[in-house]
Amino acid sequence: DIHMTQSPSSLSASVGDRVTITCRASQSINNYLNWYQQKPGKAPKLLIYGVSTLQSGVPSRFSGSGSGTDFSLTISSLQPEDFATYYCQQSYSAPPYTFGQGTKLEIK
């Protein structure tokens, strides 16, 4: 199975900051990499698929990059509604469709 590792596990930042979350796969996943946002008490929401394609309705301050085994999610200017937990997921070698352990983004 492919293992996904996110870093950091938690991150404190301020409104307006630029933040980057990284995700590493245990082997190449051929860009089958997705990012989800989850707010407390809510279901996960798809943000980005295929490394860098924004899901419809997702603000352009979110962007994704990377290739092979190393990927990142960047929020260019944090907004209050962006404080949440973010998960990466691989869909290349599945099942299982493995998720990273999550990165909790908190207000500084």
37 contacts another protein (rule: CB under 8 A): no
Q: Minimum Å distance from CB 39 to another protein?
A: 12
Q: Find the length of the chain.
A: 108
Residue with tokens 């092979």: 68
* Contacting another protein within 50-79 (CB under 8 A): 50, 53, 55
Q: How far apart are CA 98 and CA 28, in angstroms?
A: 13
Between 27 and 77, name the residue whose CB sits nearer to another protein: 27
Cα–Cα distance, 64 to 98 (Å, whole number): 18
Residue 62: what residue type? F
List of residues contacting another protein (CB under 8 A): 31-32, 34, 36, 38, 42-46, 49-50, 53, 55, 87, 89, 91, 94-102
